[in-house]
Amino acid sequence: MNPQEGHHVAIILPTYCEAENIADLIQAIENLNLNSTLLVIDDSSPDNTKNIVKKLKEKNQNILILNRSHKMGLGTAITDGFRFLLALPKPPSYIITMDADFSHNPQDISRLLNIAENGCDLVIGSRYCQEGKTKGWSLTRILISKIANKLTGILINLPLNDYTSGFRCYSKGYIIKALPQLHSETYEIQIETLRQAKLQHSKIGEMPIIFENRKKGKSKLTLTEITAFSKYILKVSWEQLADKRN
Ligand SMILES: Nc1nc2c(ncn2[C@@H]2O[C@H](COP(=O)(O)OP(=O)(O)OP(=O)(O)O)[C@@H](O)[C@H]2O)c(=O)[nH]1
Ligand SMILES: [Mg+2]
């Protein structure tokens, strides 16, 4: 089916230099026969990820590409994706976000969607709840992730285990309300979306996932992203402190 005619679910795949992963990932998702729209948001990757997607699009009508002029960050990729999908003649009822490097297992998509369909506005694929796991990360990478998760947990104060996972399913209703308030450029989008869920009193679900470190391609998590994330945490902490004083 053509995305213009409407699919129940859309999957956002942000890509920056994922030429080694994207074809296999799209094929793995297509094999699930979910009847979904796949939206690849590519920031003019120098490895020509976009051309691989364009070829696949010729055979699969459910693939859409949003091409941006340069690397603009994961946060804006996700919000641009939300805007793009909501502007379709028949927007999807659910939107899934996942990394395009096989760290998030496509086989988990249906489980994520089922939980959302049973009444959650936001479902998180969780590495840190019981039965969740990360595989193949260095000690430094585990530490960075755990510290970021702990700090976010303190800041947000919601009873969750994994605040920073990017493998999520959002309801259309949640996105319509939250989108005007989302301004993140990079990875802090994961906190901002949770803060909005808290403000909206959204029902949030968590399900265990096994996160595997990418086998192909390079991580985009650099000092720039870590700095943006830390600045966001500091900014929100400061705002919350100021609110308490007033
Ligand atoms: N369009 C777009 N996609 C991005 C950008 N930065 C990262 N991505 C994609 O977002 C997803 C997550 O990025 P990763 O490099 O896997 O980052 P990560 O999962 O936090 O890091 P690792 O687990 O260390 O690999 C991947 O599909 C990237 O290709 C960006 O600036 N623009
Ligand atoms: Mg990754």
In this structure, what DSSP letter does residue 180 have? G
Cβ–ligand 1 distance for 127 under 6 Å, the answer: no
Q: 125 versus 219: which is more confidently predicted? A: 125
- What tens digit of pLDDT does each residue of 17-42 get? 999 999 999 999 999 999 899 999 99
| Cα 14 from Cα 115, distance rounded (Å) | 23
Query: From its phi and psi, is residue 24 left (phi > 0), alpha (psi between -120 and 50) or beta?
Result: alpha
Residue of 74, 133, 146 with the most ligand 1 atoms within 8 Å of its CB, for mutation: 74
- The residues, ordered by sequence, that sit 6+ positions from 146 with a Cβ below 8 Å of its Cβ are none
- Whether the CB of 190 sits within 6 Å of ligand 1: no
pTM of the model: 0.95
pLDDT digits (tens, 9 = 90+) for 174-189: 999 999 999 999 999 9
| pLDDT on residue 240 | 85
Question: What torsion, rounded to 10 degrees, do the Cα atoms 160, 103, 84, 110 define?
Answer: -70
Please report where in the chains the tokens 């994706």 appear, as a residue: 81
- Going from the Cα of 101 to the center of ligand 2, the distance in angstroms, rounded, reads 6
Q: How far is the CA of 166 from the centre of ligand 2 (A)?
A: 9
pLDDT tens profile 60-109 = 999 999 999 999 999 999 999 999 999 999 999 999 999 999 999 999 99
How far is the C-alpha of 171 from the C-alpha of 123, rounded, in Å?
9
Instruction: List, as ranges, residues with CB under 5 A of the ion ligand 2.
Output: 99, 101, 103
- CA nearest to 218, candidates 40, 65, 46: 46
Domains and CATH numbers, the chain: 3-245 (3.90.550.10)
pLDDT of residue 1: 61
pLDDT score, position 72: 96
Which atom, in ligand 1's list, is nearest to the CA of 141? 24
DSSP strand pairing (122-126 vs 168-171) = antiparallel
pLDDT at 151: 92
Beta-carbon contacts of 207 under 8 Å, excluding residues fewer than 6 positions away, are 108, 111, 112, 115, 123, 124, 125, 126, 129
- Six token digits for residue 201: 């009193």
> Read out DSSP for 87-154?
TSSS--SEEEE--TTSSS-GGGHHHHHHHHHTT-SEEEEESSSTT-EEES--HHHHHHHHHHHHHHHH
For the stretch 119-176, pLDDT in tens is 999 999 999 999 999 999 999 999 999 999 999 999 999 999 999 999 999 999 999 9
Instruction: Yes or no: say if 136 and 148 are a contact pair by the CB < 8 Å rule.
Output: no
Is the Cβ–Cβ distance between 81 and 41 less than 8 Å? yes
Q: Which of 145-149, 193-197, 220-224 has the lowest mean pLDDT?
A: 220-224
Residue 80 Cα, ligand 2 centroid: separation in angstroms? 19
Q: For the chain, percent helix, then strand, then coil, each to nearest 5?
A: 45, 15, 40
pLDDT surpasses 70 at 43: yes
Q: Can you give the pLDDT at residue 246?
A: 76
Q: Tell which one of 43, 99, 149, 215 to mutate to probe ligand 1, the residue whose CB is within 8 A of the most ligand atoms.
A: 99
Which atom of ligand 1 has the smallest separation from the CA of 187? 20
Residue 3 has pLDDT above 80, yes or no: no
User: Which ligand is located closest to the Cα atom of residue 53?
Assistant: 1
Q: Please report which ligand is nearest the Cα atom of 69.
A: 1
Q: How sure is the predictor about 50, in pLDDT bands with cuts at 50, 70 and 90?
A: very high
Q: Is 108 in the pocket of ligand 1 (CB under 6 A)?
A: no
- From the CA of 141, the nearest ligand is 1
Average pLDDT rounded to a whole number, residues 229-235? 91
Type of residue found at 61: Q
Label residue 243 by pLDDT band (50, 70, 90).
confident
